[in-house]
């Protein structure tokens, strides 16, 4: 068995860490989440998590938290609102809605990578079983019009390499950027014929830059021309790339390395074969960004209803009823940060 195929979780489904140092430490401070294994009761706070949803901006992920709350019928105790659990990290936002975590990851591989280290450790400390991670993002389409939903089959870097390369102790390590194929198919099957937009699957290119790295002519610097750009975009399109964004490589590589199932669902903001600038009006962009959220919500609702945790009227039963324990936790969470 290669190290890549080793058992990545304990038999009960809890996340296994590929780092023997963590369990020898007195405490583990998840610095960028403003949480710690000793300062917080991570099992009570997060032990019931099943879905971890991430996206670039704090606003999108706050809106997703309220949206999924309504979709699964999660009720907050009277007089309380959703709390940004990581607000005092001043880095990422994090909301918990029953079995769903909604977290912003910022822009680019370094930002999402740091977050994934800490969220994967959070899953471990909280003894979460078989979590599923989603990235809900935006991207540029290749041969796809704006507003198209793309579910990534796999991720490649700007050189079309299917792995994340990271210098560690002066050596380049490579981690395969693999996404869960079955999850990708299941998500595709949840697209509905009457959705007023297309939902497709394909290869996603992940770059280290929005401008030169994605072959844009409109950055502060540009050392190539329109022909060079089109030649490159046509070449990557031929190799199966249907969209370009900036986090999928790390998201796929780190979740795969942790043995966590994951999927990347992005909406295209424009067809890069037709232009570089984001020209759609703000209201249109807002509506487009809702589309990957709708697909992920359908998946979560289907999962919860199959597990008998969502009644037909959409209400989430066992995890979300007014529980005195949960109420205490909401209070505790607020108190921790007062």
For the CB of residue 104, give the shortest distance to ligand URA in the complex, in Å: 15
Binding flag, residue 114, ligand URA (CB under 6 A): no
Does 216 carry a binding-site annotation?
A: yes
Does 291 carry a binding-site annotation?
A: no
Among candidate residues 241, 243, 248, the one with its CA nearest the CA of residue 263: 248
Binding flag, residue 102, ligand LQZ7MJT6 (CB under 6 A): no
Binding flag, residue 84, ligand URA (CB under 6 A): no
Taking 3-state DSSP, the helix, strand and coil percentages for the chain, each rounded to the nearest 5, stand at 35, 25, 40
Binding flag, residue 210, ligand URA (CB under 6 A): yes
* C-alpha dihedral sign at 129, 110, 178, 176: negative
CA distance 338 to 323: 23
Binding flag, residue 279, ligand LQZ7MJT6 (CB under 6 A): no
Binding flag, residue 153, ligand LQZ7MJT6 (CB under 6 A): no
Among candidate residues 234, 287, 261, the one with its CA nearest the CA of residue 67: 287
CA distance 310 to 190: 17
Specify the stretch interacting with ligand URA by CB under 6 A; choose among 83-91, 94-102, 244-252, 325-333. 244-252
Interface with ligand URA (CB under 6 A), residue from 102, 152, 201, 214:
214
- The footprint of ligand URA on residues 172-201 (CB under 6 A) is none
Does 244 carry a binding-site annotation?
A: no
Binding flag, residue 101, ligand URA (CB under 6 A): no
Does 136 carry a binding-site annotation?
A: yes
Helices of type H across 211-310: 226-238, 248-257, 282-306
Kindly list the distances between the CA atom of residue 275 and the CA atoms of 1, 5, 260, 280, in Å, as whole numbers in the listed order.
46, 41, 36, 12
Strand, coil or helix: 63: helix
Binding flag, residue 146, ligand LQZ7MJT6 (CB under 6 A): no
Applying CB under 6 A, the residues found at the interface with ligand LQZ7MJT6 are 55-56, 107-108, 137-138, 210, 245-247
């Amino acid at each position: 068995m290669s190290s890549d195929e080793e058992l990545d979780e304990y038999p009960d489904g809890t996340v296994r860490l590929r780092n023997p140092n963590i369990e020898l430490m007195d405490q583990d401070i998840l610095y960028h989440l403003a949480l710690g294994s000793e300062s917080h009761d991570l099992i009570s706070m997060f032990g019931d998590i099943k879905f971890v949803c991430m996206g670039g901006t704090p606003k999108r992920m706050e809106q997703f938290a309220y949206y999924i709350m309504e979709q699964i019928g999660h009720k907050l105790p009277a007089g309380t609102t959703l709390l940004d659990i990581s607000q005092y990290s001043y880095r990422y936002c994090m909301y918990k809605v029953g079995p769903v975590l909604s977290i912003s990851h910022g822009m680019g591989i370094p930002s999402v990578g740091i977050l994934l280290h800490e969220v994967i450790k959070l899953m471990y400390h909280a003894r979460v079983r078989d979590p599923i991670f989603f990235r809900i993002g935006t991207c540029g389409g290749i041969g796809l019009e704006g507003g198209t939903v793309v579910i990534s089959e796999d991720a490649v870097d700007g050189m079309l390499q299917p792995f994340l390369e990271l210098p560690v102790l002066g050596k380049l390590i490579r981690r395969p950027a693999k996404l869960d194929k079955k999850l990708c198919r299941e998500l595709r099957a949840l697209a509905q014929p009457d959705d007023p937009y297309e939902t497709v699957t394909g290869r996603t290119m992940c770059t280290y830059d929005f401008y030169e790295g994605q072959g844009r002519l409109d950055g502060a610097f540009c050392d190539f021309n329109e022909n060079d750009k089109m030649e490159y975009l046509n070449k990557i399109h031929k190799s199966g790339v249907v969209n370009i964004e900036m986090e999928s490589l790390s998201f796929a590589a780190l979740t795969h390395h942790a043995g966590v199932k994951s999927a990347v669902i992005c909406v295209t903001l424009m067809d890069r074969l037709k232009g570089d600038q984001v020209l759609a009006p703000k209201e249109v962009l807002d509506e487009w960004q809702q589309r990957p959220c709708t697909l992920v919500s359908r998946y979560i609702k289907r999962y919860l209803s199959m597990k008998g945790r969502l009644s037909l009227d959409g209400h989430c039963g066992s995890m979300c009823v007014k529980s005195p324990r949960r109420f205490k936790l909401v209070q505790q969470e607020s108190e921790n940060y007062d």
